[in-house]
Structure 1
Amino acid sequence: MRQSSAPFLFAGAMLAAAGYGATFLLASYYRARGGGDIETGLTLGAAMVGTFTGVPLVGWLSGRFDAVRMCVIACCAVAAGFLLLASSTSSGFALSLVSGFFIGLGWGMFYIAAPMALSERVTDIDRAFWFTRFGAFQMAGIGGGPVLLNLAVYQAGLSIEAAFVLVGLACLTASALLWIFGTLAPGAPRIKTLRPWLRDIVVIAKGGSIRPIVMVALGACVFSGVLTFQSTLVQGTSANAATFFAVYAITVVAARLLLARALARLPQAALATGLLAAMVLGVVAMFGVAFHPAFQILAAILTGIGYGLVYSVIQTWAVNDTPRELRHAALTWFVLSYFVGVFGFPVIGGWVLAHLGKSSFLAILLVAGVAELLIAVSIGFAHKRIAPDASRTSMP
């Protein structure tokens, strides 16, 4: 991949990711309209339906169309969703569900098409490094977007609706940048047939990539739970949701940019285990926010180091541990699994928060995090049984 084209990809990814990051303001959006966490969860449930429409489309059409061009369409869909939210009236919850569908459709398409486009333009040896760099800019948008929007809304006095208009414009700008990237860095020759992926899960389930596919769903539950409902989790305390977003984003971006090469050289199973242990401790730290706001900062740092860095590790496992002819299918299933957690869990999480409280909610996140950690440990043992240095070959 040409170095000169990378800035357009990274800038476009950051702005597109800010669109997803803006969904963390949905709880505030509905509270301002007399709603609550249940409405937030239902909107994200509609987004999950959108992702389950968008991700398969990309999986099937990725052979015919350059994934970058599908990223452009995806950003336009996210923009449409937020512009619809901005225009929705307090009584128009049905329109909000449509908005959620468009946001999920666009983000789902982008989330699989962007790494697919990048993967096609780099070698196996460089894939982990480029995935990590790409992920840094993506996380900058996911974490930095809510920070800037919180400042605009709560410090500058901008309405949430006006903030969503800005998000829509940012996503349209992202589509233009990604179009330029696709022009500067042409992808592989296209084919005329559709790419099957659905039935390939039978083969994938028998191989090593099924474990990272399960892991990403569990980690996404933790990620979406902590960030989507952060404003609810800190209600009644002296902590501020914007602080978590800012610390989380800074931690992830700095760690990925500074440690990309070093992380790629470490034994990956051991690295993933350590990172997931940090994520679990981050959830534990959230229990202490009611006692002191410093626990929120600790939780943001631990979650940023843990989830923020482990994602690219298990994403690389999902691709590299799969035969080349099935990699697009593995990546499709990987992203679908991610969205089960990131958009599906808030439907349950919103109900748990409303009816059972914060402690029960955090306990569920803790169980999900520990389960993912145990799978990583099992992968480490499996690698040791296969070959003494197998963990080093899982990720270049």
Structure 2
Amino acid sequence: MRSTSAVPLFGGTILAAAGYGATFLFSAYFHAIGGSDIDTGLAFGAAMLGTFVGVPLVGWLSGRLDAAAMAALAGGAIACGFAILGLAHDIASPWPRLAAGLIGLGWGMFYIGAPMALSERVSDAERGAWFTRFGAFQMAGIGGGPVVVGLLSSSAGWSLRAVFAAVAACAALSAVLLFLFKLGEPLPDRRLRSRTWVRSIGRIAKTASIRPIAMVGLGACVFSGLMSFQGSLVEGTGCVPGTYFAVYAVTVVGMRLAFARRLATLPQRPFAVGLLLILSLGVLAMFGVRLHPGFQILSAALAGIGYGLVYPVIQTWAVNETRQQDRHAALTWFVLSYFVGLFGFPVLGGWVLVQFGPSALLTLLLVAALIELGVLLFNTGTKAGAVQLAR
């Protein structure tokens, strides 16, 4: 793939991700139109449902449509969702929840469609570096989007309607950029695609790819636990949850950009082991927030290094360790596993937090991180996969 193609791809990525990041305004939006946090929860539920529709939809259509085109459609869905939110001001109408569902649908389609489009246009040797760069721009959008729209709605005095219109315009521009990426990088041989991603799990389970698929779900549990319950974890400590989010996002973006070119040259298995140990230390550091606020920053930085770098590493393994016909299916299962951990863990984590307190929740997160490390170290899979992971 030509380096110049990175401009529309990464430009579309950061704008689409910023649209997803702007969903943090849901609570303020529903309160502004006379709703409550119950309505906010229902909207996020609709977004989650849309996400779980979008991911398999791309998996099923990837044998017929270019994944880059589906990523562009995803940007259009996010744009439509925010445009509807900007126009809907009746809490009793179904439009706000429909809009949230469209945003979730678009994000689910983008989250798998964009890396799938990238993956099929680069070689196995290049994939790790490109995935790492892609992830850096995606995180920049997710982390930077809330900051920008927050400044527009508070400091600049923009109305929520104007903010949502701006987000919709950015998402529409992301769709244009991603479509330009499709035109600039014609799709390679389409015959290598698989249309049966569900049934492919039997073949994938016999390869080393099943391990990164399991690992990403466990890592998502740790990530969602630290992020979703950050407010409760630092309550009464003087720490601000936003500090954790900002330090984490900056660390991830910086580390991914710094390691993108060198990622493929590093000894992958020892590197991943080290990253998961760093992630575990990040969870351990959160136990110290009641002793000193600096532990919150330390935890965010360690988690950003550990989880932020191990994600593109195992994403690359999930694709490279699968035969060509099953690579779209492997990436689909990888993303589904991620979203199961991301959306599913808060249900269990919230119950543990209420029933047993923050220390119990952090212990559970530490166990999940160590199990992820155990999955990596447990030497299963094909001989070829074992050799690849050992390099």
Sort the TM-score into its range (normalised by shorter chain). Answer: 0.7 to 0.9
After superposition, the Cα gap between the structure-2 partners of 1:180 and 1:144, relative to the gap in structure 1 and judged at 3 Å, is: same
After superposition, the Cα gap between the structure-2 partners of 1:272 and 1:55, relative to the gap in structure 1 and judged at 3 Å, is: same
Task: Give the letter for the 1:206 counterpart.
Answer: K
After superposition, the Cα gap between the structure-2 partners of 1:26 and 1:216, relative to the gap in structure 1 and judged at 3 Å, is: farther
Kept in 2, the 8 Å contact 1:20–1:142? The answer is yes
Alpha-carbon distance between aligned partners in 2 of 1:193 and 1:134, rounded to the nearest angstrom: 22
Kept in 1, the 8 Å contact 2:282–2:298? The answer is yes
Kept in 1, the 8 Å contact 2:193–2:324? The answer is no
Task: Give the letter for the 2:374 counterpart.
Answer: L
Task: Give the letter for the 1:322 counterpart.
Answer: T
Kept in 2, the 8 Å contact 1:45–1:346? The answer is no
Task: Give the letter for the 1:391 counterpart.
Answer: L
Secondary structure in structure 1 of the residue aligned to 2:195 = coil
Q: How far 1:71 moved relative to its partner?
A: 0.6
Q: How far 1:89 moved relative to its partner?
A: 4.9
The answer to whether structure 1 residue 335 and structure 2 residue 335 are counterparts is yes
Alpha-carbon distance between aligned partners in 1 of 2:25 and 2:353, rounded to the nearest angstrom: 16
The answer to whether structure 1 residue 238 and structure 2 residue 231 are counterparts is no
Q: How far 1:187 moved relative to its partner?
A: 1.4
Secondary structure in structure 1 of the residue aligned to 2:261 = helix
Structure 1, unaligned runs of 5 or more? none
1:221 matched residue in structure 2:
221
Structure 2, unaligned runs of 5 or more? none
Alpha-carbon distance between aligned partners in 2 of 1:370 and 1:219, rounded to the nearest angstrom: 10
Q: Deviations over 1:61-102 (max 9, x none)?
A: 112211111111111212233344455558449555433322
1:15 matched residue in structure 2:
15
Alpha-carbon distance between aligned partners in 2 of 1:240 and 1:162, rounded to the nearest angstrom: 28
Alpha-carbon distance between aligned partners in 1 of 2:346 and 2:96, rounded to the nearest angstrom: 16
1:122 matched residue in structure 2:
122
Secondary structure in structure 2 of the residue aligned to 1:16 = helix
Q: How far 1:232 moved relative to its partner?
A: 4.9
After superposition, the Cα gap between the structure-2 partners of 1:386 and 1:175, relative to the gap in structure 1 and judged at 3 Å, is: closer
1:199 matched residue in structure 2:
199
Q: Deviations over 1:365-395 (max 9, x none)?
A: 33322221221222xx4599989964354xx
After superposition, the Cα gap between the structure-2 partners of 1:387 and 1:57, relative to the gap in structure 1 and judged at 3 Å, is: closer
Secondary structure in structure 1 of the residue aligned to 2:262 = helix
2:265 matched residue in structure 1:
265
Alpha-carbon distance between aligned partners in 1 of 2:22 and 2:106, rounded to the nearest angstrom: 14
Q: How far 1:189 moved relative to its partner?
A: 4.8
Alpha-carbon distance between aligned partners in 1 of 2:361 and 2:96, rounded to the nearest angstrom: 25
After superposition, the Cα gap between the structure-2 partners of 1:153 and 1:168, relative to the gap in structure 1 and judged at 3 Å, is: same
2:370 matched residue in structure 1:
370
Q: Deviations over 1:131-186 (max 9, x none)?
A: 11111111111222223334444544555565444332221111111111111111
The answer to whether structure 1 residue 391 and structure 2 residue 374 are counterparts is no
Deviates more, 1:60-69 or 1:363-372: 363-372
Task: Give the letter for the 1:127 counterpart.
Answer: R
Alpha-carbon distance between aligned partners in 1 of 2:2 and 2:88, rounded to the nearest angstrom: 42
Q: How far 1:190 moved relative to its partner?
A: 4.3
Identity of aligned residues (%): 56
Alpha-carbon distance between aligned partners in 2 of 1:342 and 1:112, rounded to the nearest angstrom: 15
Deviates more, 1:26-35 or 1:292-301: 26-35
Aligned length: 390
Q: Deviations over 1:209-243 (max 9, x none)?
A: 11111111111122223234444544444323332
Kept in 2, the 8 Å contact 1:5–1:185? The answer is yes
Alpha-carbon distance between aligned partners in 2 of 1:112 and 1:312, rounded to the nearest angstrom: 13
Kept in 1, the 8 Å contact 2:143–2:245? The answer is yes
Question: RMSD value over aligned CA atoms?
Answer: 3.1
Kept in 1, the 8 Å contact 2:48–2:343? The answer is yes
